[in-house]
Each structure stands twice: as structure tokens, then as C-alpha cells.
A = this chain, B = another copy of it.
């Protein structure tokens, strides 16, 4: 706190330390730590909220637990009176994919951008208080830049500095093309922070380079530099890749209680601690207890996972839904019985069918060959009894229950 500390009362010093402890929790990196403390101290001294920026890619509005790692951090700042600036990179969205993964990523239309922003807004509301959030679209200022202004800005950064970005360096080394327009992505992200006068920018560790661009351009343009707070990336259900929609390894915060709970149960054991840390609303003390009990064996990993699943459902659907999802899981998966509520279908076909035709007719499986394989793998039950023969013929009766795999049920109504 250096200089500022002299001006603080003891209570204010305690308040700064209290806030810092919260902000440090679960982060991967704060760059630089001293400046964050100075900013918090100044905010306490002057009773002025800090401006916390979070940039959002408007092309992928499905919010999953991976996003909530940063949202949780955002919420902590919000709860301490600071101002959240959500920045929809709508202008940025008009550039193709700078990661080089999908070179032909289509530019978004204005309509898509607005729709996606709305979707974010609704989903974020489940984690943070959206009434206390400033919403910005960077097209507001970026679309107004003239070529001359762009050149002035480009004159404030070197090619070598831009090439330091991991993926640029890698692609250059591999001889993979980098289009010149991709150099603008970090430049724009940095300029957004200049325009918004951000004190802090939040992001995943994969945003390290881009977030530091804000500091770079703020300094070059004579402003106070923002602090970078980088959160760890959450691996998805596969336990390997970063949780993302495209990898299909995610738990969406809009998913049904049963889906959420079921998916939570498939998280690898070794990621349990990280999930408790990063995506639950547990206090540091509660998290410590879970970790310790897992370590000593007091808590069985399966039970820890059930606690995690229940917690996630509670956070996004409330306690009653959490209770019910747990009961559902226990009855279906652990006790192997048929759940209370299962979807019904009115039968209008022949009253006798081969099991293969029946599975395809009911659209429980997509093809006869899939149906055959599922039966051979002992994954099909009729009224709770495994079907062992692929040539079995089934007589249709009222309330006949067909089960495919662990979680797909259908009740036939005549």
C-alpha cells in the first residue's frame, strides 16, 4: 500500500486487507499484486468503486460452469461495492477467429450480437446482480475510429510484442498463416480498457496476453494501468480439455436439474477439489473441510461428487430441485429402479413388434444397427428386465416401460 497507507485509518487498513483476502481466493495470477492493493486502498480511502471489466465474445452465448469461475470473482467485487463493466465485443465479433482453429468463422450480424448479449445477460443473472452492471458494446467507439486513429494506435505497439502471444508464436513457428487483421484483436481489447477507464480486467489464464494489452495501451495513452486478474481454466467433464461448448464437455447453467446432477457425477475424481474451489458458493472453510475429509477417506469420492452435484443444482435451480435431483439419481442410478416421473408416449402402431423395430419407432435409437448394438451390450430393458435377444418380439401393453442405457426411459400408453 506504500504511500496510500499513511492516509488510512486502522479500520480502513483492516477493510483493505479483508477485501484483498477475498479477491486473492482461487485466482491463478494477479498482475501486479501491489497495484491491486493500491487500487483497493484508494477505493476505500476515497469511497470510490473500482471499475471491473469482463470482456465477452458475443459469438458463444451458452453459459456453462466454466464461465462461472470468472463470474464468481465478479460477484465478489460486486458484493464489495465495486462496479462491473460487461463488455460485449460486438465489433470484435466481426473479425474471424483469431485462434486459427476455425479460419472461416463467420462474422456476426448486429441482430445475432444483440440476441447473444441478451442471452448472456439472462444467464449471468443467475450468478451476479445484473442491476449493478454496466453493459457496453465496443462497436460504440471502435466503429467510429478513422484509419488515421487506427494508425496512431498501431504506432503504440511493436510487431515483436504482438508476436509474443503464445498462439501467434506457435503458428508462426509452424508456418501456419496469421492474417494481419488478427493483430487487431489484442489491440482492440486493450483500447476498450482505455475507453472504459478500467481499474481491473478479469479473464481466464488464456486471456493473459490480451488482458495485459489493456495495461500497455492505458500506459501509452497516459492513463492509470489496469490490474489483470486471471482465473484458472476449468477442465470439462473429460478431465482434460478446457470446458467449452464446442468440446461437449460442459455443464450448462441452463440445463435441467437431472442433467446437471448426472453430468456432475461424471466429473473425474481428481478434479473434485478444483470444482469445489472454483464453481461452488462454499466458503473457504467449507471447501477446506471437504478437501480434508476426501484426503483422510472420511468422505467417499462418490459422496463428495453427490454433494457437488446437489450444490450445483441448488445454485441454479434452488434447494427443492437439488433434493429431487439427488433422489432421482439415488433411485435410478444407485438402486437401479425406475424413476417416478418418466415421459409417456401414446402408442398408435401394431400391437406386436420386434424389439429392434420398437426402439427405432419410439426414436429411442436412431437406426436398427444402433438398436442391435445396444441390445447386444445389454443396455435395453423392458419393464425392468434386460432384453438379451436381438430378435425378441414385444407385445405392446399399457404402461410398458422401455429403458435404453442408464438414463433414457419411455412409458407407452395405449
Residues of A at the B interface (CB closer than 8 Å) are 91, 94-96, 142-152, 154-160, 162-163, 168, 172, 175, 177-184, 187
Contact = CB atoms under 8 A, between A and B. Distances in A.
Contacts of A187: 180
A183 to B, nearest CB: 6
B154 A184 contact: yes
A159 B146 contact: no
A389 B132 CA distance: 92
B180 A157 contact: yes
B148 A94 contact: yes
Contact of A180 (B91, B94, B146, B155): B155
A156 B180 CA distance: 8
Q: Which 5 A-B pairs have the closest CB atoms?
A: A154-B181, A154-B180, A155-B181, A145-B147, A159-B178
A154 B142 contact: no
A93 B175 CA distance: 33
B143 A147 contact: yes
A151 B95 contact: yes
Contacts of A150: 147, 150
Contacts of A158: 177-180
The binding surface of chain A is classed by DSSP as: helix
Contact of A146 (B146, B154, B162, B183): B146
B160 A172 contact: yes
A144 to B, nearest CB: 8
A151 B183 contact: no
B179 A96 contact: no
Contacts of A177: 158-160
B179 A159 contact: yes
Contacts of A168: 159
A94 B155 CA distance: 11
Contacts of A159: 159, 163, 168, 172, 177-180, 182-183
A158 B187 CA distance: 17
A134 B184 CA distance: 35
A160 B163 CA distance: 11
Contacts of A182: 159
A150 to B, nearest CB: 6
Contacts of A151: 94-95, 181, 184
9 contacts: A96-B155, A143-B146, A143-B148, A151-B181, A154-B181, A154-B184, A159-B159, A159-B163, A159-B179
A167 to B, nearest CB: 12
A144 B162 CA distance: 27
Nearest to A185: B151
Contacts of A160: 172, 175, 177-178
Contacts of A147: 91, 142-147, 149-150
A67 to B, nearest CB: 27
Contacts of A91: 147-148
Contacts of A156: 179
Nearest to A176: B160
A158 B180 CA distance: 5
A154 B168 CA distance: 16
Contact of A179 (B145, B149, B154, B179): B154
A398 to B, nearest CB: 63
A372 B152 CA distance: 52
A177 to B, nearest CB: 5
Contacts of A184: 151, 154
Given A94-B151, A147-B145, A148-B143, A180 B183 contact: yes
